[in-house]
């Protein structure tokens, strides 16, 4: 009988210690959601006369960005302009468009309306599909 009492006391002490530790734990700070612009000024970028532009906002310190850059470059055609905007080289454009997370990919039409965007890693298939979808949806 004494063994059951000892086991019971140990279990209660362990539960109380666990509760005490949980109360002392501080939750990690929450991060605000990054946003991308919904409109760009086409004259800020290459080939403002192109029907479409795909912008890749990147950073030299971002491991994913070089992969995104490679995937975005193959989207270039006579009607689709591509521009890679590395942070240290294009800091003012990052600030102007309030890009606070990279990689960020924007697909904008001839008027500068952003029709599709991606934050973070994205597959080449998703990029191709998004560009095809937005090009087909514009009348």
In a domain, 126, yes or no: yes
Say which range, 26-35, 72-81, 100-109, has the weakest mean pLDDT.
26-35
Mean pLDDT of 128-139: 88
| Banded pLDDT at 31 (limits 50, 70, 90) | low
In a domain, 27, yes or no: no
**Count of domains for the chain:** 1
In a domain, 117, yes or no: yes
In a domain, 35, yes or no: no
What length is written for the chain?
Answer: 139
Whole-number Å distance between alpha carbons of 68 and 83? 12
Largest interatomic CA distance in the chain: 88
Please compute Rg for the chain using Cα positions. Answer: 25
In a domain, 28, yes or no: no
- Does residue 134 sit in helix, strand or coil? helix
CATH code: domain of residue 98: 3.40.30.10
What is the pLDDT at residue 29?
Answer: 59
In a domain, 48, yes or no: yes
Res. 59: pLDDT tops 80: yes
Res. 54: pLDDT tops 70: yes
In a domain, 106, yes or no: yes
Range of the domain at 131: 42-137
Provide DSSP, 36-71: --SB--GGGSS-TTSSEEEEEEE-TT-TTHHHHHHH
In a domain, 15, yes or no: no
């Amino acid at each position: 009988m004494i063994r059951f009492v000892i086991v019971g006391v140990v279990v209660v002490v362990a539960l109380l210690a666990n509760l005490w530790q949980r109360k002392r734990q501080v939750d990690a700070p929450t991060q605000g959601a990054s946003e991308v612009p919904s409109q760009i000024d086409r004259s800020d970028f290459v080939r403002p006369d192109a029907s479409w532009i795909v912008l890749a906002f990147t950073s030299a310190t971002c491991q994913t960005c070089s992969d995104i850059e490679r995937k975005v470059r193959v989207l270039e055609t006579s009607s689709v302009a591509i521009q890679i905007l590395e942070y240290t080289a294009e800091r003012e454009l990052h600030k102007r468009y309030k890009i606070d997370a990279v990689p960020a990919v924007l697909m904008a039409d001839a008027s500068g309306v952003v029709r599709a965007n991606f934050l973070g890693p994205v597959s080449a298939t998703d990029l191709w599909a998004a560009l095809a979808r937005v090009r087909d949806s514009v009348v």
